[in-house]
A and B are shown apart, each in its own frame.
Chain A
Amino acid sequence: MTSTRLWRIVEVMKLALMSDLHANRQAVEAVWSRIRDEGFDQLVLLGDYVDYGADPVWTLDFVRERVTQGALAVKGNHDDAIAHESHHSLGAHVLESLHWTQRQLDATHRDFIASLPLTARLGDCLITHANAHAPADWSYIHGRLEASRSLYATDARVVFCGHMHDPKLYHLSSTGKHGEFTPVSEVGIELSRARRWLAIPGSVGQPRDGNPAACYATFDTDTDLLTFHRVPYDHDTAAARILSAGLPPLMAERLQHGQ
């Protein structure tokens, strides 16, 4: 009996997944509050904690505290760019926000970012920011081909990644047939064990699918139920803070429309 219970504690858990927080304190607070209310066993943070938003210090402190309390966090390309001062992977239009963000952070933040891994493993789930086939080159999962490439690169049954800001679910059958699905929020999807899956929860702090509400996902490893969620938050305040910080107005505008 005891051993069964222990196995359950170790193996069966409810994951809460947050990705692409992008220094948006209002969005992170709203999502975190919902996650705590709903209950979870393991928090998973999928990278891109900073840049674009007006609260990089608060957000990195939030991530650091969560990690101290047992959260699993991987590094995103924006985090990497800030810690390493290498900007090759970023477009020119975000450099302004990047430099502003760098000025806000201190050495402890950079050390913390440097300590984050590119990938992490949780049972039969793989956690990574951009993709599973070449996590360090930050290439995107634009569609089924890249998703399948990632799934072929690992033996994990489920891959969770961020980087793309729209919620999406890809799947690969045992015969190599792949499919994709745009999830409906709050409708649980059972991830059949007869195939393998790549799930993108969508962005907490920079949603871009036309819906300004923040995205996150939960996954129950006991029932295999994956649920995508949307949380409305005070994006007016988040946008106002971006403008008053002197960041590019585009960063504020897109929060209002989720674009």
Chain B
Amino acid sequence: MVNEQASPMANPDVPRQRLEPGDVIDRFVLVERLHQGGMASLWSVRWDGPTPPEFDGVPLLMKVPRIKGGEDPATIVGFEVEQMIMPRLSGPHVPRYVARGDFIRQPYIVMEHIHGDTLRPRFDHAPLPVDEVTDLGARVAQALHALHNQHVVHLDIKPSNIMLRASGEAVLLDFGLSRHDQLPDLLEEEFTLPMGTGPYMSPEQVQFVRNDPRSDLFALGVLMYTLATGERPFGQPTSVSGLRKRLYTEPVPPKVHRPELPGWFQEIVLRCLEVQPERRYQSAAQLAMDLQHPEQVQLTERATKARTAGTFKTLSRWFKAMGAEPTGDATASEQLSRSPIFMVALGVNNNTPDLDRKLLATVKRILQIEPGARLACVSVMKTARVGMDKLTDDEGNSLHVKHLVAIKHWARPLQQALRMDDHRLTFHVLEAPDTAHALVEFAHKNHVDHIVMGARGNSALRRYLGSVSAQVVAEAECSVTVVRV
């Protein structure tokens, strides 16, 4: 029998020494210690020798865990998880991964050094203007969607783990508590207490569920609530029973703290903070879409709520929560694939009734097998590139409203046949000189998974004007279905 003492962590081959500037670790020279935290220290580093061409111009940051004689499992396993997950992530919403150090000799992760502050300092200035909170929320939601798309649930979303790039994208940091749905969960058995940061932890995280991407939307809801009101929706609990309170106690509606907050903002935030994940937004992209189109948010009783539930209701919820076992049946990729965003492009003036009917039938077929889907009905109002635009028709009616009325009319049978509740359906009239470009941009900004559109019927016209659908097919990042009569 080999006992635990013989495992590699307890007997490192090389004793670790205190790191100093100028030290060389593998291919990196330590330049300056930027931060010394309880879990890890952060160093700015440079390449020892010439920079490999693929990392040209990338400033480097090295994260070195504090491992005290191998007796701190939280630090070790969290770092192990981060070393496993970071190399798999890419895109603007995470720091670019560069290298990592062997766990036995000297564990570290070298990544892109993103300059600037986390959102933590902004936190001290709460309450912030609602526009700023909404804008931040949308950026973080987009980053979360990108992360969830890569099979990872973050599980520790909070201001100090979020940065903004100079180009505007939110960057998510610290994957020490994260869960990759295609890799073993090394943390699953490690702790007997819920893992996360008290104020932000979702109810299911309190109950040890670690695979639901909607947990990150709960945390983002807490973040937006706190930034907008200056108050924490669930306080700062330090005990498990304190954490469990969020399973049955409703947060005070944000408007109680700040009555001037718009109803749509309260609607969005309280929806993120629902106890049951099924009652929240079903994907970060769907949340980002509402945050970017507040006028499209369908208001429910959440929007006007002025008080929390009464004692009796809270007690009955407490009773239910006692016996409740979370299902934890949704992994990041499963949840995402059942919550897609579809977009249908409607040519208000160009479509023939036949094409409109066929579009309707096609969209209906798609939505029938995707009950968690959202549909954005979009029409483009062509504007002139130069000069004044005509915004009203000959009778003086707003053309924008005319478009809106038309696409709502188109969607009505769909709404009835599928009994779609309102928040699954949104309507957008875009104003742009280039129809195809406007559609592609809308799809990109709103993380649309699939565009459905009609092909221009009249072939002479198509030859003369070029095909909008062909341009969308060529330029869109997502799937496109072109419907013909």
Binding site for B on A (CB under 8 A): 152-155, 157, 169, 171, 173-181, 184, 187, 189-190, 192-196
Given contacts A175-B73, A194-B76, A195-B7, 5 further A-B contacts (CB under 8 A): A171-B184, A174-B73, A175-B4, A187-B182, A193-B102
Cross-interface CB contact of A195 among B10, B80, B188, cutoff 8 Å: B80
Cross-interface CB contact of A187 among B10, B103, B107, B183, cutoff 8 Å: B183
Chain A residues within an 8 Å CB radius of B185:
179, 181
Give, as a whole number of angstroms, the nearest-CB distance from B333 to chain A.
Answer: 10
Answer whether residue B193 sits at the interface, using C-beta atoms and an 8 A cutoff.
Answer: no
A174 touching B186 by the CB < 8 A rule? no
A-B contact pairs, 12 of them (CB 8 A): A169-B184, A173-B77, A174-B10, A174-B73, A175-B4, A179-B185, A187-B182, A193-B8, A194-B9, A194-B80, A195-B7, A196-B7
Q: How many residues of B contact A (CB 8 A)?
A: 28
From A180, which residue of chain B is reached at the shortest CB distance? B184
Give, as a whole number of angstroms, the nearest-CB distance from B152 to chain A.
Answer: 13
Q: Mark B154-198, 1 if CB is under 8 A from A, else 0.
A: 000000000000000000000000000011111011100000000
User: Complex: how many Å from CA A233 to CA B104?
Assistant: 41
User: Complex: how many Å from CA A155 to CA B2?
Assistant: 7
From B5, which residue of chain A is reached at the shortest CB distance? A174
Binding site for A on B (CB under 8 A): 1-4, 6-10, 70, 73, 76-77, 80, 83-84, 102-104, 107, 182-186, 188-190
A192 touching B103 by the CB < 8 A rule? yes
User: Complex: how many Å from CA A178 to CA B190?
Assistant: 8
From A194, which residue of chain B is reached at the shortest CB distance? B103
Chain A residues within an 8 Å CB radius of B3:
152
User: Complex: how many Å from CA A101 to CA B480?
Assistant: 56
User: Complex: how many Å from CA A56 to CA B165?
Assistant: 62
Chain A residues within an 8 Å CB radius of B1:
152-153
User: Complex: how many Å from CA A224 to CA B83?
Assistant: 13
Cross-interface CB contact of A174 among B9, B83, B183, cutoff 8 Å: B9
B76 touching A179 by the CB < 8 A rule? no
Chain A residues within an 8 Å CB radius of B6:
155
A171 touching B183 by the CB < 8 A rule? no
From B104, which residue of chain A is reached at the shortest CB distance? A193
Name, among A173, A178, A194, A196, the residue most crowded by chain B CB atoms within 10 Å (CB to CB). A194
User: Complex: how many Å from CA A177 to CA B80?
Assistant: 14
Chain B residues within an 8 Å CB radius of A193:
8, 102-104
User: Complex: how many Å from CA A149 to CA B182?
Assistant: 26
B2 touching A153 by the CB < 8 A rule? yes
Cross-interface CB contact of A192 among B4, B73, B84, B188, cutoff 8 Å: B84
Chain B interface main SS type: loop
Chain B residues within an 8 Å CB radius of A173:
73, 76-77, 186, 189-190
* Contacts known (A152-B1, A155-B2, A192-B83); A177 close to B184, Cβ less than 8 A: no
* Contacts known (A184-B182, A194-B76); A174 close to B4, Cβ less than 8 A: yes
Chain B residues within an 8 Å CB radius of A152:
1-3
Name, among A155, A173, A187, the residue most crowded by chain B CB atoms within 10 Å (CB to CB). A173
User: Complex: how many Å from CA A153 to CA B1?
Assistant: 5
Chain B residues within an 8 Å CB radius of A171:
184, 186
Cross-interface CB contact of A177 among B73, B84, B103, B104, cutoff 8 Å: B73
User: Complex: how many Å from CA A247 to CA B266?
Assistant: 68
User: Complex: how many Å from CA A155 to CA B102?
Assistant: 19
A174 touching B184 by the CB < 8 A rule? no
User: Complex: how many Å from CA A153 to CA B80?
Assistant: 24
B184 touching A179 by the CB < 8 A rule? yes
Chain B residues within an 8 Å CB radius of A157:
8
B8 touching A174 by the CB < 8 A rule? yes
Give, as a whole number of angstroms, the nearest-CB distance from A234 to chain B.
Answer: 29
A179 touching B80 by the CB < 8 A rule? no
User: Complex: how many Å from CA A107 to CA B274?
Assistant: 70
User: Complex: how many Å from CA A143 to CA B76?
Assistant: 25
User: Complex: how many Å from CA A169 to CA B185?
Assistant: 11
User: Complex: how many Å from CA A243 to CA B281?
Assistant: 53
User: Complex: how many Å from CA A152 to CA B3?
Assistant: 7
User: Complex: how many Å from CA A176 to CA B70?
Assistant: 13
* Contacts known (A174-B8, A174-B9, A174-B70); A192 close to B186, Cβ less than 8 A: yes
Q: Which 3 pairs between the two chains have the least Cβ-Cβ distance?
A: A181-B184, A174-B9, A174-B7
Give, as a whole number of angstroms, the nearest-CB distance from B478 to chain A.
Answer: 23
* Contacts known (A174-B70, A176-B4, A179-B186); A192 close to B10, Cβ less than 8 A: no
Chain A residues within an 8 Å CB radius of B104:
193-194
Give, as a whole number of angstroms, the nearest-CB distance from A208 to chain B.
Answer: 21
B4 touching A179 by the CB < 8 A rule? no
Give, as a whole number of angstroms, the nearest-CB distance from A210 to chain B.
Answer: 17
From B79, which residue of chain A is reached at the shortest CB distance? A194
User: Complex: how many Å from CA A180 to CA B6?
Assistant: 22
Give, as a whole number of angstroms, the nearest-CB distance from B109 to chain A.
Answer: 13
* Contacts known (A174-B4, A193-B104); A179 close to B9, Cβ less than 8 A: no
User: Complex: how many Å from CA A135 to CA B1?
Assistant: 15
Chain B residues within an 8 Å CB radius of A153:
1-2
User: Complex: how many Å from CA A177 to CA B104?
Assistant: 18
Chain B residues within an 8 Å CB radius of A192:
80, 83-84, 103, 186
From A189, which residue of chain B is reached at the shortest CB distance? B183
Give, as a whole number of angstroms, the nearest-CB distance from B206 to chain A.
Answer: 20
User: Complex: how many Å from CA A190 to CA B6?
Assistant: 22
From B183, which residue of chain A is reached at the shortest CB distance? A189
Chain A residues within an 8 Å CB radius of B4:
174-176
User: Complex: how many Å from CA A109 to CA B332?
Assistant: 50
User: Complex: how many Å from CA A192 to CA B82?
Assistant: 11
Name, among B2, B3, B10, the residue most crowded by chain A CB atoms within 10 Å (CB to CB). B2
